[in-house]
Amino acid sequence: LRGNLVAEAAALLTAQTALVVAPAFPPAGRTVQGGTLCVQGVPVHETEIGKDRLTP
């Protein structure tokens, strides 16, 4: 997940009563394992994307 998820979700909720966030996308190698988002089987916080200081 990148970007300002909280602000984007809040904006969507102004027009909706519920919102589902599903970060898994198996065809792209993104899965959730034990509550942790993984990219190609590696926890996202251990990848270069997860270590990006500007948009972690």
Instruction: Kindly list the domain boundaries of the chain, sorted by start residue.
Output: 22-56
Q: What is the pLDDT of residue 34?
A: 92
Sole residue written with tokens 């919102």: 19
pLDDT band, residue 2 (cuts 50/70/90): low
Read off the pLDDT of each residue in 4-25 and give the average, rounded to a whole number: 89
Distance (Å, whole) CA 8 – CA 40 = 26
- Reading the block at residue 23, the tokens are 């970060």
Tell me: the pLDDT tens digits for 21-52? Answer: 878 889 999 999 998 999 999 999 999 888 88
Q: What is the pLDDT of residue 1?
A: 62
Q: Which of 49, 29, 48 is nearest to 39 (CA)?
A: 29
